[in-house]
Structure 1
Amino acid sequence: MDTDNPQIVLGAMEFGTRVTSDQAFAVLDSFVAGGGVWIDTANCYSFWADPSGVGGASERVIGAWLRARPGARETVRIATKVRQNPLVPHSWPKSAEGLSARAVHAGVQESLERLGVDHVDLLWAHAEDRTVPLEETVGAFGELAAKGVALRIGAANHAAWRVERARSLAREQGVEAWTALQLRHSLVQPRPLTPVAEAGHRMLAAEDLDHARSEGLAVWSYSSLMWGSYVRPDKPLPETYDHPGTARVLAVLDDIAGELSATRNQVVLAWLMRQGIDPIVGASRVEQIEEALAGRRLRLGDEHLARFAEAR
């Protein structure tokens, strides 16, 4: 995870639920064949789409793929998350596991069993849990890092000040600190001060990027391609994105895509990576991940960035 060399991350959220095992295996094979490395999942994926009402399906599919592909574990890096998995089926957020030391250790152990591995390359705190002292959460993540169960740790959907407070506590405790951030971000932006409809999503703000750059933290973005809304007429952008700035940005996007003989999605991914962000791309079909990986060759210049900035 090189902050100077952003990568396309394969998002595995729908594996085992909306994406069948066969489809997921094909996407994973294509991703690796195309030089992809990082796979992002979570222990709660996707409880809302699973008849069981709890998560684990995505990790089980990835684990089955690893078993079916000898040597794949040496090729890929796996990131997973703890915090949101319901402890009682069909009871979220009331029964979400949280970030107590007990919950973190139990959640990771169950993830390792589903994945069939002895460690993950990156462990995320999926969201804040302010019912638990931050010192306790930091200590739990630090203990897992010290044991080699998590080679690196990060914070998803956390306020910048909470991340930096946690990093300070880690220094005080003498344990590994969070060194990666995961937040929602894409080229188009919702109306200012308008909350997004998706529960638990936290948008990347200018202060997050400033914080990451000043502290040398990696930044991953989710919902990078807006669920296909850039390229699929049947998937319009959410209502909160309906404002004049979106229309202007999309017009510039079309112009630049035409000039560079690229797709809209490829330009969006290039725009994110130009800023040092690792975009997570969810894919249900091989051609989707092939398109994304092909976009790595696309290079946007300062002039392109300026045109997008002016359109906002």
Structure 2
Amino acid sequence: MPRINNTDLEVFPLALGGNVFGWTADEEQSFAVLDAYAQAGGNFIDTADSYSAWVPGNSGGESETIIGRWMAARGNRDQMVVATKVSQHPEAKGLSRPTIRRAIDASLRRLQTDHVDLYYAHFDDPDTPLEETVSAFGELVREGKVRYIAASNYTAERLAEWLKITDAGGLPRIVALQPHYNLVERDRFEGSIAGLAAREGLSVVPYYALASGFLTGKYRDGAAGDSPRASGAAAYLDERGRRVLAALDEVAAAHDTAVATVALAWLAAQPTVVAPLASARTVEQLPDLLGVAQLRLTDAEIQRLTRASE
């Protein structure tokens, strides 16, 4: 299994997204998905304290609670690499020291564990001095509540500033990034952020790896679908999107595999990417995601997909 750089965390080549747990998947469905993922060798579970506060009747933390109950029921906490995030919970907004400390304790209670393996700053907080945020994360590592630190949705400039602070103060460094990145969303990651990740040895775990489902091939002309993500996927159905789907179809046919598997394999083949992140609402959706662990694209196929998505 690949290893997150500068850590002892060996992770399955697909990170399982927990954003659907407590949203489009109830606890029973979530347990079934988690069971199937673990049975296939999966060990890398990604969530956030805010999942899924946007659902009417939810308050945030539902996903962590389900994952915590599942690990307790299965007795497998030590076999799992658990990543969660801070800054967006309705009762723990931002990245001030008091907020981070309050949020980690709440996350640990919900996850029924004494530590998280990877703790992300979910979104930048421009209202809090970065030095305060960085030192607060460092305190959690020293106290054993967090093993390693990561960041999501940060600019290259702010990431560079974060790393400068840690290096100057001898504080624990960021080891991983979670950017929005996939075959039809390349601009915001490729370039300065990708370059920084390569220079600094940061492992990348891209979210929206399937572009809200568009890269599964389900959302084509005349097939809008009725899932909560259908409208987001439909936004990619332009000339470029159709070109990408055609290339995915071609490569998938050559390997007798699913379009989604090929899209994830392209992402997994990119420099610095350690594991794409994708979620499954049902067990039936998992095989196409898990296939990324076995599929290896040729250089020509990677180039074909890259050209189609430009």
Query: How high is the TM-score relative to the length of structure 2?
Result: 0.89
Query: Structure 1 unaligned runs (5+)?
Result: 88-95, 193-202
Matches of 2:189 and 2:106, distance apart in 1: 30
Give the CA RMSD over aligned residues: 1.8
**Letter of the structure 2 residue corresponding to residue 280 of structure 1:** L
Task: Please tell me whether residue 286 in structure 1 is matched to residue 283 in structure 2.
Answer: yes
Matches of 1:113 and 1:236, distance apart in 2: 35
Task: Please tell me whether residue 162 in structure 1 is matched to residue 158 in structure 2.
Answer: yes
Q: Is the 8 A contact 1:83 1:97 kept in 2?
A: yes
Equivalent of residue 272 in structure 1, options 264, 267, 273: 267
Other structure's SS at 1:214 match: helix
Task: Please tell me whether residue 69 in structure 1 is matched to residue 65 in structure 2.
Answer: no
Matches of 2:115 and 2:185, distance apart in 1: 36
Matches of 2:304 and 2:213, distance apart in 1: 23
Matches of 1:85 and 1:101, distance apart in 2: 15
Partner of 2:17: 11
Instruction: Give the count of matched residue pairs.
Output: 291
Query: Structure 2 unaligned runs (5+)?
Result: 6-10
Equivalent of residue 251 in structure 1, options 246, 255, 258: 246
Matches of 2:179 and 2:148, distance apart in 1: 17
Q: Is the 8 A contact 2:50 2:89 kept in 1?
A: yes
Partner of 2:8: none
Equivalent of residue 82 in structure 1, options 79, 82, 86: 86
Q: Which moved more, 1:34-43 or 1:241-250?
A: 241-250
Q: Is the 8 A contact 2:213 2:233 kept in 1?
A: no
What is the CA-CA distance between 1:41 and the residue it aligns to? 0.3
Q: Where in structure 2 are the equivalents of 1:1-312 lying within 5 Å?
A: 2-3=3-4, 7-52=13-58, 54-70=59-75, 72-87=76-91, 97-189=93-185, 203-229=188-214, 230-232=216-218, 233=223, 234=225, 235=230, 238=233, 240-275=235-270, 276-277=272-273, 278-311=275-308, 312=310
Matches of 2:305 and 2:28, distance apart in 1: 39
Matches of 1:157 and 1:21, distance apart in 2: 28
Q: Is the 8 A contact 1:16 1:58 kept in 2?
A: yes
**Letter of the structure 2 residue corresponding to residue 25 of structure 1:** F
**Letter of the structure 2 residue corresponding to residue 81 of structure 1:** K
Other structure's SS at 1:221 match: coil
Matches of 2:262 and 2:277, distance apart in 1: 14
Other structure's SS at 1:135 match: helix
**Letter of the structure 1 residue corresponding to residue 241 of structure 2:** T
Matches of 2:161 and 2:185, distance apart in 1: 28
Other structure's SS at 2:172 match: coil
What is the CA-CA distance between 1:209 and the residue it aligns to? 1.5
Q: Which moved more, 1:123-132 or 1:13-22?
A: 13-22
Other structure's SS at 1:122 match: strand
Q: Which moved more, 1:226-235 or 1:246-255?
A: 226-235
What is the CA-CA distance between 1:246 and the residue it aligns to? 1.9
